[in-house]
Amino acid sequence: MRMETRKRPPWASWRGLSRRWVIVISGLALYALLIGAVGIFSASRLARPATTARATATRGATATPGSSWAYNPATDRSTATILAAEHAADIQATAQNDLNHMTLDEKLGQMFLIETYYETWTPDIASMVVGMHAGAVIIYAKNMQTPQQLKAYIASMQAHASIPLLVTMDEEGGLVDRLGYNNFFPPIPSAQSLGATGKPALATQAGDQAAQEMLAMGINTDLAPVVDVRGPNGSIETTRLYGDTPGVVTTFAGAYLDALQNNGVIGTLKHWPGIGDVTQDPHLTLPTITDSLPQLESQHFATFRALLSHDPGMIMVTHVIVTAIDPTMPATLSPKLVNGVLRGQLGYDGVVMTDSLYMQGIALRYNLPEAGVLAVIAGDDLLEGAFDASSMAGMIAALKAAIASGRISVARINQSVMRILKLKIRFGLLPLLSAHYQRVQQANGAGQAPAGTLQADTRRGSAAGRPARA
């Protein structure tokens, strides 16, 4: 049956058209409101202070002096995530740009943490810092005479370095308190005494004190905290340990680490894979850990795993045999323990530094140049052990020979140097190449950025004569 078709009155056609226009106009109004909201959101982001990636993403930023803005984790989590991703991308791009302009000699030099016997700038130091492009230096008591002398000594090294140095010190407190022991500053309590109080806030205070004292001397990296857990056999580290459970150690070491890094000092977890239950000293011999895999996971690895969320600047690996994972190679030189467990299973992709490679735990089996090659193969980035120009030159020659023979690839060297450069950029030692953060600083009235924050791009110098970025 054919249905009858009725004619529509004129007003019906007009009413349909009117409804369509109402829908269109309403849609445009909603779109305008959305654009306005996005604009307000973007402006608020630019008005917020630049902070370290971790502080922004997980802890919340503290407003700069005079700023009325404060981070609200309940409402600003998405913004924090965006900013953290932008930080990471900017750091990656800046480090890649720097790496692209570096020679192989400069790259290899960045992988060395040197020590010296001196208290002032000397030709031997010049050979390591200027001639071989050392990336880091450690300060011992033998380098310290007075606060004024130490500050001048460090400043002279930084003034000659084409890429700023990681200036490191073991500043744990207690028995290992270089600044306090030499009466440069008041002493810092030991880890054991802090853990015994049950008050993590005291570990925060100790970390604040250490960071501020170190920065006053020009020291930007603390080889602390110790995150080893005291085991039933006791420990050679005695009062350097926060406690005998992973929970206590994680809580107190985490508070100390956060305080360091929130003040702009790089922190270092040590000693991977955990030596809180060894009875022999790696300085004198090569200890062995015979614990099972479940014991390793629950006791020794637990604190490292837990503290990765605090974004430690570095992790130090030491010299010990772990029979359940690698019964033949010291942890420092073991691909299974560094690349396999620390990086592969725990997921750490930051800078791994070695304990000193001239310690007997290594020297009983390997000479310094071969130890350096094996450390890089294992996955380590920063090599501690060169103590003068001759020893550093020998280690560099061994690395170059390993590259030439194919034992180590240039890509593997680039991997380590990228990690080191990103760490230096993150903590403001190398400026960040980022128009975004220039806008952020301008929105906040320029001025001095807080310690440890990412800096706008104002190069202090350049490596290998390449032009400084302005």
Does an H or E element contain 19, and which?
helix 10-46
SS3 131: helix
Q: Rounded to a whole number, what is the distance in angstroms from the first to the last CA of the chain?
A: 83
SS3 146: coil
Q: Measuring CA to CA, which residue among 392, 383, 378 is closest to residue 341?
A: 378
Do 326 and 337 meet the contact criterion of CB atoms below 8 Å apart? Answer: yes
Buried b (16+ CB within 10 A) or exposed e, 318-346: bbbbbeebbeebbbbbbbbbbebbbbeee
d(CA 405, CA 285): 31
Q: Which residues pair with 177 in a beta bridge?
A: 171
Distance of CA 469 to the CA centre of its chain: 24
Q: Which two tokens stand for residue 331?
A: 């942890």
Our answer to whether residue 124 is catalytic in this structure is: no
Set 228, 326, 355, 381: catalytic member: 355
Q: Measuring CA to CA, which residue among 296, 443, 409, 422 is closest to residue 350?
A: 422
Set 160, 208, 283, 291: catalytic member: 283
Inter-axis angle of helices 200-217 and 246-262, to 10 degrees?
40
Q: Which two tokens stand for residue 2?
A: 């054919």
Our answer to whether residue 87 is catalytic in this structure is: no
Q: Which two tokens stand for residue 246?
A: 């992973």
Residue in the structure block whose two tokens are 């008591």: 141
Q: How many CB atoms lie within 10 A of CB 148?
A: 9
Q: In 101-227, which ranges are continuous DSSP H helix?
A: 104-110, 123-126, 147-160, 178-181, 191-197, 200-217
Do 382 and 314 meet the contact criterion of CB atoms below 8 Å apart? Answer: yes
Angle at 92 between CA 412 and CA 207, to 5 degrees: 95
Three-state SS across 30-78?
Answer: HHHHHHHHHHHHHHHHHCCCCCCHHHHHHHCCCCCCCCCCCCCCCCCHH
Catalytic (active-site) positions: 283, 355
